């Protein structure tokens, strides 16, 4: 049980760093945005901005690269005790991944509100939605694949050899 708690702590640190990198990557995506025009509605009026595609891709590569590199160099070695453990522990790890995915969502939304406020828009809308909604979902799915599906059926102990 002690090993699993260490793995849980390592996962929490990794996902906390992921939330910070998601916020920073979102801020990087805002570099070089260009003013497109104004919009107006019954309640709100604001400005429309367009992403700079180079910085958008740079922020995306930074986030996804951190996810894979952080797993490969930090979490992969620490997650081995999870193999062959009870199902309730894997569910606990999935719940922790869900909570930190929500934290990642909050970091991204906070980063957007710091730069553009509540009334301004980023265009195209699909790029905005990809950042805000896809990154936390990617974080959750990635961690579930790593923790539950990848560790399924594997044991941390080598199989014993029995003579027939």
pLDDT at 152: 58
Give the span between the Cα atoms of 30 and 128, in whole angstroms. Answer: 11
Give the angle subtended at the CA of 136 by the CAs of 124 and 155, to the nearest 5°. Answer: 145
Query: What is the average pLDDT across 105-111?
Result: 96
In a domain, 160, yes or no: no
pLDDT at 113: 92
Give the span between the Cα atoms of 86 and 84, in whole angstroms. Answer: 7
pLDDT at 69: 96
Comparing CA positions, the residue from 16, 129, 154 lying closest to residue 79 is 154
Residue 160: pLDDT over 50: no
Query: What is the average pLDDT across 102-130?
Result: 92
CB burial of residue 59 (10 Å; 0-12, 13-18, 19+): buried
Give the span between the Cα atoms of 90 and 112, in whole angstroms. Answer: 33
In a domain, 77, yes or no: yes
Query: How do the residues of the chain divide into helix, strand and coil, expressed in percent and rounded to 5?
Result: 70, 10, 20
In a domain, 85, yes or no: yes
38 versus 81: which is more confidently predicted?
Answer: 38
In a domain, 69, yes or no: yes
Predicted TM-score (pTM) of this structure: 0.84
In a domain, 97, yes or no: yes
Q: Which two tokens stand for residue 59?
A: 């922020």
**Cβ-contact 84, 43 below 8 angstroms:** no
pLDDT at 81: 66
**Cβ-contact 14, 71 below 8 angstroms:** yes
In a domain, 164, yes or no: no
pLDDT tens-digit readout, 63-76 = 999 999 999 999 88
Count of the separate structural domains present in the chain: 1
In a domain, 132, yes or no: yes
pLDDT at 163: 44
Print the domain residue range for 31.
2-149
Q: Which two tokens stand for residue 16?
A: 């906390």
In a domain, 162, yes or no: no
**Cβ-contact 39, 46 below 8 angstroms:** yes
For 123, list phi and psi in degrees, rounded to 5.
Answer: -115, 150
């Amino acid at each position: 049980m002690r090993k699993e708690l260490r793995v849980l702590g390592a996962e929490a640190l990794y996902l906390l760093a992921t939330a910070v990198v998601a916020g920073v990557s979102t801020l990087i995506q805002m570099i070089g945005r260009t003013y497109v025009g104004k919009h107006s509605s019954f309640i709100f009026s604001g400005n429309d901005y367009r992403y700079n595609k180079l910085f958008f891709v740079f922020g995306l590569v930074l986030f996804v690269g951190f996810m894979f590199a952080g797993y490969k160099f930090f979490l992969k070695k620490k997650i081995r005790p999870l193999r062959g453990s009870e199902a309730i522990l894997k569910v606990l790890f999935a719940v922790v991944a869900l909570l930190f995915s929500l934290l990642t969502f909050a970091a991204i939304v906070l980063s957007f509100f710091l730069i553009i406020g509540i009334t301004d828009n980023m265009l195209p809308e699909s790029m905005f939605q990809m950042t805000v909604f896809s990154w936390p979902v990617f974080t959750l799915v990635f961690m579930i694949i790593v923790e539950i599906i990848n560790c399924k059926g594997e044991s941390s102990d080598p199989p014993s050899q029995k003579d027939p």
